[in-house]
Structures are given as C-alpha cells and as structure tokens.
Chain A
Amino acid sequence: MTSPDIHALTGAYALDAVAGVERADFEQHLAECESCAQEVQELQETAARLALAAAEVPPPDLKDRVLAQIREVRQLSPDTTVVPLRRRSLAQRLTTVAAAVFFVAAAGLGVVVVRQDNQLDAARAQATQLEQILKAPDAELLTLDGSGGATGSMKVAVSRQQDKMLLLSGNLATAPDGRDYQLWTLADGRPSSRGLLEPAGGNLTYEVGDLGDADVVAITVEPAGGSRQPTEQPAMFAELPSD
C-alpha cells in the first residue's frame, strides 16, 4: 500500500470501518506516523460527537445491574499484567529483530523491520531459543493465518522430540478493547488453555512446553482475562505434526 493510500484510511479507521488485516496494517502504520495518529485522534473525537448526538434514555434497571456487576469485577491497575507468560520478561523484550534473526538464520523467511541496536542482545538470546527448537531433527515450521478473522499472522516452530513449540509474530494486532488472545492446544478435541497472548507493537514470541498428545494449536479472542473453555471459533489455528 502506498503511503497516501494508507493515510486516506484515517477517516475509515476513526469510524471503525477498517477490518481484518487492513486494520492491523493500519495500526502498525499509526505507530510510526505521528501525523496520522494525531489525525486519527481528532477524527475519533469527531466521531464521538456522533455518539453524543445520538443519546437515548436507557432502560432504568440497567444501572443497578451494571453497579452490581462492577462489584464483582477486579480493576486493572495501570501496570497490571494479566498475562501469565512463562517467559514474559523475555517475551516483552522481544523485538522484530529477533524475528528477523530467527527467520533469516533459521528459515530464510521474510524480512522484518529492524529497530534499535540496544535490543539486539535480547534479540540474540531469543534467536538462540528459537534456533534450539529448529535444530531438532523433527522440527517443523507452521503458519497460522488470520483466515478465522484474526489480524496478523503467526509462525509456529514445533518439535515433538523437544515436546515444545514457539510462537512468533511480527504483525499481530492488539486484541480489541476488553478482549484478550487466548492460546489453546487441543488433544483429540479437548482444549487446554496455554495462557494469554499479548502482542507488543505487533510482536510476540511465546514458548509452550508439555505438548503431550496435542494435535491442534488454536488462538481465540476471549473476554479480557481469558476463559476456561474457548467461547468462540478460533481466530487462528493449525494442526500440529504428529510424532
């Protein structure tokens, strides 16, 4: 997409009229284009006036229901981390550089934007972790695509011998407000939660061990905090190679 084209999406985006991969692409662009972000903010402010203009009287009992419900809901603190990532600190430090190192060194896939030098060390550490899986003779690289409605794509390196897999994305859109990505493995149709995924600036690296006899990996978009069982069709999924 050329830059004037993508810039023209500010209006559509402010109206939530951009969907799917295009939305993810645009959000990535927003992160790098200050003038676009400024314009989107103003246009969102404008769009909100359309909501103010549409005010209607709500059902009278709604307030009591909401007030009762919030007493049951724990609030986020500004620095809350609701993500039980086993390697969260590492994952947080992961950059697109890691993905680039990994893809180039290990799989020859894709070129990813390089950011800051000081992130290279973390990236190298990450790349080592990635290479380790790919060194396994049975390692396979799968692609999860967004055909189920997710915006972005993900690579999964799997080794049955090492009994683990590593998820990687450089363009995973942030989950919608109030929702989280939840990772599942399925063994013979039975889902096990593998935690919540929180992309930072589209980037994500996440390792999962103890695969056991899992035969499918899936990601769903769940209410914030995750669910005990998947409540929606997977936004992304792939079959895992058998032993």
Chain B
Amino acid sequence: MGDRARRLRSARTDPANDAGELLQRVALGDEAAFAQLYDLLIGSVFGMVRRIVRDPAQSEEVVQEVMVELWRSAAKFSPERGSATTWAMTLAHRRAVDRVRSAQAAADRDDMVGRRDASRPFDEVSEQVTARLEQEQVRRCLSTLTDLQRESVLLAYYGGRTYREVGELLSTPLGTIKTRLRDGLIRLRDCLGVA
C-alpha cells in the first residue's frame, strides 16, 4: 500500500466537488491548490492519455501539456457547464486524440495506416482495457452494453478513433456506429448514475 494505492483510490472516489473547489483556487493563481489538483487528477489523466497515445515519451509530453493547460485556463472553467473533473478529462482526451491524429496525418496517413491499424485486432484493445479497468463499477456497467456498443465506445475513447474509423474497424455501417456509440454511452450513463 503505497503511493499507487493512494493515488488510485483518490482517482476512484468521485473527485468532482473537490476538483471544482481546487480549480477555482487555481484560477486565482494558487499553486498549492494546483499541486493538490494535480494529485487528484494525474492518475486518470496519465492512464487515459497513455492508452490513447501509447508511446511513453509522447504520452508524458501530452500529460504535461494537459496539466499546464489546466493551470493556464482554469479561469475558463464554469461549474454550470459540468464538473471540473469532466472538464479536465475532456480537455485531456481531446489533446491526446489530437496528438495521435496529427501524428498519423503527418507520418503515415498515406502509408496505409488504416490497413496496419485494422490488422491489430480490436478486441486486443478492448480486452486489455477492460481487464485493466481499475474501477469495478465502470467494468460492471460496461458489461451491460452489447458487444458492439462496448467495442465501439472503447475503440473511440481509449483507441482515439473517429466513429468513421470505428465503423471501418468493425466493418459496420456508419449509421449503426453512431447509434451504438450514443446508445452505449446512454446505457453507461444510466448504469453509472451520471446526470
């Protein structure tokens, strides 16, 4: 029981309220509050970004950018538009996804990246992720989704895929994927009691 357990626990309890208060202090330039906010969010930000970006050095870079951005733009957070944790995770997810997509575009979009990626079995991604999910509740709720819903949601969220790419990877029409993503998230939302 050390750092790891403590950090995981702090990420596991819903830190929404704490994070909101801290973020408001951070917006006033409170560095101590930022250090606390860092501790509260870093495990989740790091884990999520690493799953998407994969390359360890680049993941760290993105995580560092995200945390600095939280500091920089804390004043832009408005509580009426959602919780501070969601705000931070949304920012982090968008950053991670931008990184993999621009890297793809720059390096090898023309170089059959689609084919290479398609050859990586999608269930490798989702099983790994599912197996490693730290949060029992999320795992349980994910298991209430249909296979296609779950695979689609996980490929999009942890795989950083666009829904069009998800459609290709799962050989499923786009209309169906859109619906699965939405229905899957709605089912997850209801199961997790998010509202």
Contact = CB atoms under 8 A, between A and B. Distances in A.
B12 interface: yes
A85 B130 CA distance: 48
Interface in A1-24: 5, 8-12, 14-19
A78 interface: yes
B7 A48 contact: no
A238 interface: no
A31 interface: no
Contacts of B164: 19
Nearest to A56: B47
A17 B82 contact: no
Interface string B63-100: 11101110111111000011101100111111101100
B158 to A, nearest CB: 7
A44, A73, A78, A80 — most chain B CB neighbours (10 Å): A44
Contact of A12 (B38, B63, B91, B181): B181
Interface in B145-195: 153, 156-158, 160-164, 166, 175, 177-186, 188-189, 192, 194-195
A177 interface: yes
Contact of B51 (A54, A76, A78): A54
Interface in A146-186: 149, 176-178
Interface stretch (A63-71, A98-106, A191-199): A63-71
Contact of A11 (B74, B95, B132, B178): B178
A152 B170 CA distance: 29
Prevailing SS type, chain B contact patch: helix
B129 interface: yes
Contacts of B89: 47-48, 51-52
B75 A78 contact: yes
A75 B133 contact: no
Contacts of B163: 9, 12, 15, 17-18
Given A14-B185, A42-B189, A45-B82, A66 B69 contact: no
Contacts of A75: 27, 29, 71-75
10 contacts: A14-B185, A18-B162, A19-B164, A52-B135, A54-B133, A55-B134, A62-B46, A75-B72, A78-B75, A80-B75
Interface of B: 3-4, 7-8, 11-12, 14, 27, 29, 31, 34-35, 38-39, 42-48, 50-51, 60, 63-65, 67-69, 71-76, 81-83, 85-86, 89-95, 97-98, 101-102, 105-106, 129, 132-135, 138-139, 153, 156-158, 160-164, 166, 175, 177-186, 188-189, 192, 194-195
Interface of A: 5, 8-12, 14-19, 41-60, 62-63, 65-67, 69-71, 73-78, 80, 149, 176-178, 224, 232-233
